Amino acid sequence: MSAIAGNIRRDGQIVGLISFGHLLSHVYMLSLPPLFPVLRAELGFTYVELGLAMTMFAVATGSLQTPMGFLCERVGARFVLIAGLIINSAAIIAVGFVDSLLNLCVFMALAGVGSSVFHPADYSIISGSVSEERIGRAFAIHTFGGAAGFALAPVIMVGLAAIFDWRTAFMLAGGAGIVVAIIILTFSGVITEGEGKKKEGEQLSLRQLLTSRPILLFFLFYAAAAAANVGINQFSVAAMTEIYGVPLALANSVLTLYLFSAMFGVLPGGWVADKTTHPGLILIGGMGLAGALIAFVGFEGLPFWFALGLLATVGATRGFVQSSRDVMVRAIAPKASVGTVFGFVTTGFLVGQAISPPIYGLLLDLGSPGVVFWISAGFSAICLMTMLPVLARR
């Protein structure tokens, strides 16, 4: 019994360390946008220029995630994670000293370099260190940490800027990451990253990664899922003000409810992912339900309160299936290349986030706000189509 308790405690320590680092990485992803108006007023940047800085971050992160996965295989995920967190944190501290657009873009690109380590390193560590019977819950807590980071970022950055100033806000936020990196280093002895030395033959080559049908299908799944989510995260507020004629504040509260529903749907989804032998059916069923409910929101005859309930259910459903998705990705990856595979497929997120905003923006410009939700539902349908061949293979 004591051995079981010891394993649970050790798993908790690993997941806690990794998930808190993941939370901070998501705070850093959204550290700049809440302070856009302040930087615009004090430094004279345009919103286009500030958007360019965010693009530099995204490009650095997206282009380096897969190489960081290979690096985890070569030198160990612990080292890569700690180094990445330090780089990410130092870059955020440096943003507090910017005085030109060039400085800002360089520091945000550097932050993106640091941010690129989290998906490959975190998933590699969790997959190799956490007990098999708790892997779904470990993935869920990790995902919850990232979602919490997104939710907390505006509160933290705006709050610190109000108490001190925007420069101090970045320095304090980045300094917290340095402290966490030291804590992870101090307690990193609990991280095993699997047993024994990884053999070269167990690792995927770049050619194998780019030609594996299941891995490519998951890449497309992540891209389509991100594109579906962009319709809700970035354009639902504008669409709902036009469809339902509600005030902006009320439309924003719907988005907040959606995001919190998604965050809290993750935890029970992790428990189910550990108990089920058919995670693919959970993933397909959840994405199918979410897509159908999103499509209903686009019909203009619905009562607003009903649309609100539909979106809250969509958020909870999407959160619920994420651990089952992660368990499936882990199942198709060679044990020595779990981090690399996760780094590659999650790059699909950035692809979906890049290609879909102009589509939704065009629909709003054309006066078709309801179609925003139908297109989001269509991307959810693409998710289903990518998973059917994976399920047939299993």
Q: Tell me the Ramachandran region of residue 76: left when phi exceeds 0, alpha when psi lies from -120 to 50, beta otherwise.
A: left
Work out the angle between the directed axes of helices 347-355 and 357-365 (0-180°, nearest 10): 20
In 3D space, the residue among 256, 213, 227 whose CA is nearest the CA of residue 356 turns out to be 227
Q: Taking the C-alpha atoms of 139, 14, 62 and 228 in order, what is their torsion angle to the nearest 10 degrees?
A: 20
Q: How would DSSP label each residue in 342-382?
A: HHHHTHHHHHHHHHSHHHHHHHHHTT-HHHHHHHHHHHHHH
User: What is the predicted pLDDT for the residue at 197?
Assistant: 41
The answer to whether position 363 is within a domain reads yes
The answer to whether position 198 is within a domain reads no
How many residues appear in the chain?
A: 394
146 & 175 share domain: yes
The answer to whether position 197 is within a domain reads no
Are the beta carbons of 117 and 84 closer than 8 angstroms?
Answer: yes
68 & 186 share domain: yes
Domain count, the chain: 2
Residue pLDDT, tens place only, 238-280: 888 888 888 877 887 888 888 889 888 999 999 999 888 888 8
The answer to whether position 91 is within a domain reads yes
Q: State pTM to two decimals.
A: 0.84
Q: Taking the C-alpha atoms of 55, 59, 65 and 68 in order, what is their torsion angle to the nearest 10 degrees?
A: -110
Are the beta carbons of 61 and 84 closer than 8 angstroms?
Answer: no
310 & 286 share domain: yes
How far apart CA 64 and CA 118 sit, in angstroms, is 11
276 & 172 share domain: no
* Secondary structure class of 165 (helix, strand, coil): coil
User: What is the predicted pLDDT for the residue at 175?
Assistant: 96
Q: How many CA atoms lie within 13 A of 298 on its CB side?
A: 23
How far apart CA 226 and CA 222 sit, in angstroms, is 6
Other residues' Cβ atoms within 10 Å of the Cβ of residue 75:
11
CATH of the domain at 290: 1.20.1250.20
How far apart CA 32 and CA 38 sit, in angstroms, is 10
Q: What is the DSSP letter of 133?
A: G
The answer to whether position 240 is within a domain reads yes
99 & 208 share domain: no
Cβ-based neighbours of 279, under 8 Å, separated by 6 or more: 136, 273, 324, 325, 327, 328
Other residues' Cβ atoms within 10 Å of the Cβ of residue 38:
16
Last residue in a domain, options 165, 190, 215: 190
- 322 pLDDT higher than 80: yes
Mean pLDDT over each residue of the chain, to the nearest integer: 87
User: What is the predicted pLDDT for the residue at 244?
Assistant: 87
Residue pLDDT, tens place only, 192-229: 765 444 544 466 777 787 788 989 999 999 999 989 98
- Could you list the residue range(s) of the whole structural domain that residue 11 is in? 2-190
Residue pLDDT, tens place only, 103-158: 999 999 999 999 999 999 999 899 888 888 889 999 999 999 988 888 888 889 98
Instruction: Name the band, by pLDDT with cuts 50, 70 and 90, for residue 83.
Output: very high
246 & 336 share domain: yes
23 & 114 share domain: yes
Instruction: Name the band, by pLDDT with cuts 50, 70 and 90, for residue 179.
Output: very high
Higher pLDDT, 82 or 355: 82
Average pLDDT over residues 287-292: 93
How far apart CA 259 and CA 257 sit, in angstroms, is 6
User: What is the predicted pLDDT for the residue at 6?
Assistant: 66
| Residue corresponding to tokens 């007023």 | 41
User: What is the predicted pLDDT for the residue at 248?
Assistant: 76
157 & 217 share domain: no
Write the burial class of residue 12 (CB in 10 Å: 0-12 exposed, 13-18 middle, 19+ buried). middle
- 169 pLDDT higher than 50: yes
Q: How many CA atoms lie within 13 A of 343 on its CB side?
A: 32
207 & 186 share domain: no
- 349 pLDDT higher than 50: yes
